[in-house]
Structure 1
Amino acid sequence: MSTQKVAVVTGASQGIGAGLVTAYRKLGYAVVANSRSIQPSDDPFVLTVPGDVAVPGVGKEIIRQGLAAFGRIDTLVNNAGVFIAKPFTDYTDEEFDLVTGVNLRGFFEVTQAAAKAMLTQEGGHIVNVSTSLVEHANVNVPSAFASLTKGGLNAVTKSLAIEYAARGIRVNTVALGIIRTPMHPEETHQALAGLHPVGEIGEVSDAVGAVTYLEDAPFVTGVILHVDGGQSAGH
């Protein structure tokens, strides 16, 4: 088996996901990068696997291709996610299927396949990306679907951390505030900054730094790490 470590990143084509690909390469990892429309990389240690993680079979295929290319899976970052902010009574069945498909089913299939691979090795690390809105709801940001799905990720983080604690697999979550990514148009940034006690929005480097901290923290598992400018502490 290869000794070079391998990280899998979903939602890897832009924003935080793209930042994670770069960060893991700097750490010396090979990277399996997935998003719906990701383009091939000219880096031989970055394997791009296009596909929608909400579609059955895609999660297993990401891990299958990663194992075929690099021989092992050491870290999975479940970064792919969908956020739709609207009043609860305005959500549609289609939006429910979209959000649960990416945020829950996408997590389930790729994580199950990655965990199976990690159990045949000396362990591994699973990191989920969540939101502080789960624990600190905001009257200005209706977010029932985020809480329903990302709250599930927060809960399963602790469950899996305990299930695998003695088997070498750590499971953690990074719960974010608003991060400056293409998801948020420039003209919204000032208003979004007001959601955080520090008065500004976060940078991709803040989110990436939290994940790389967890990567190098062998005694940390089952943690929800808030990277949110104080949002989860109060306002």
Structure 2
Amino acid sequence: MTTPKVAVITGASQGIGAALVTAYRKLGYAIVATSRSIGPSDDPMVRTVAGDIAASSVGASVVGEALDAFGRVDTLINNAGVFVSKPFTEYTDEDYELVTGVNLRGFFETSQRAIDVMLAQGGGHVVNITTTLAEYADSSVPSALAALTKGGLNAVTKSLAIEYASRGIRVNAVSPGVIRTPMHPAETHEFLAGLHPVGRMGEVHDIVDAIVYLETATFVTGEILHVDGGQSAGH
């Protein structure tokens, strides 16, 4: 039997991550899905790894599970992320450790191990989930730690895309606006919808569709694809 392509998806237990597992299975991929609270899957082509992606060795163990189970890694989607909105001077050390741990350390270790595997097999694709707030600040949503971390992911997306362009590895990012997920209580939806020129929040499928597009767009690398209801164009 031909080994299918394999996608590693972080933050995969709910919202965008869970929808990505479904979408990539429909594309015929085997999946290794991870989050802190993820449970086992009934699908033999979906392996789950419970763990905190910010913790040392978790990212490497997730990629190791993909190799043990399926023998390869074709796509890594760095979907796990946390967002804490506070005035800059009110952030605590705990906030800093949480946000940088998930958004940066989680990306770093998982991507480093996955790209190493992709180099050995001759190619692959990395997708980072960032945020439009990293590039286009909004006075009504103080978000310095998001800018610090997700802005870093935007920059490293381009850096890695160029570093590995000649070796068959593409690196892209999707930069969402505010997406309707369990993270946002219903009473905040009207305010959040108003942050987007189109007047609504994004839906999970908007982000999934963008990632699936990037998966098949073999001439696209180093791209930060804004799926943000016009936020990045102006307000």
Q: Per the shorter chain, which TM-score range?
A: over 0.9
Match of 1:192 in 2: 192
Contact 2:7 2:74 in 1 (8 A): yes
Question: What SS does the aligned partner of 1:189 have?
Answer: helix
Tell me, yes or no, if structure 1 residue 177 matches structure 2 residue 177: yes
Tell me how far 1:2 sits from its aligned partner.
5.0
TM alignment of 1:44-59, pairs within 5 A: 44-59=44-59
- Distance in 2 (alpha carbons) for counterparts of 1:26 and 1:117: 24
| Residue in 2 that maps onto 1:214 | 214
Contact 1:2 1:70 in 2 (8 A): no
TM-score, length-scaled by structure 1: 0.99
The equivalent of 1:29 in structure 2 is: 29
* Partner Cα separation in structure 1 for residue 46 and residue 88 of structure 2: 40
Residue type of the alignment partner of 2:4: Q
CA displacement at 1:187 relative to structure 2: 1.3
Unaligned runs of 5+ in 2: none
Match of 2:136 in 1: 136
The alpha carbon displacement at 1:91 in A equals 0.2
The secondary structure found in structure 2 opposite 1:200 is: coil
Other-structure match for 2:112: 112
SS in 1 for 2:121: coil
Identify the residue that residue 163 of structure 2 maps to in structure 1.
163
The one-letter amino acid paired with 1:172 is N
Distance (whole Å) between structure 1 residues aligned to residue 3 and residue 65 of structure 2: 17
State how far apart, in whole Å, the 2-side matches of 1:162 and 1:100 are.
24
Q: CA RMSD in A?
A: 0.9
Contact 2:3–2:70 (8 Å) recurs in 1? no
Runs (4+) of structure 1 exceeding 6 A deviation are none
State the partner residue of 1:126.
126
The answer (yes or no) to whether the contact 1:2–1:71 under 8 Å persists in 2 is no
The corresponding residue for 1:43 is 43
Query: How far off its partner does 1:23 sit?
Result: 0.2
Q: Per-residue CA shift, 1:77-126, capped at 9, x if unaligned?
A: 00000100000000001110010000000000000000011001120000
What letter is aligned with 2:32? V
Partners of 2:119 and 2:88 in 1: CA distance:
40
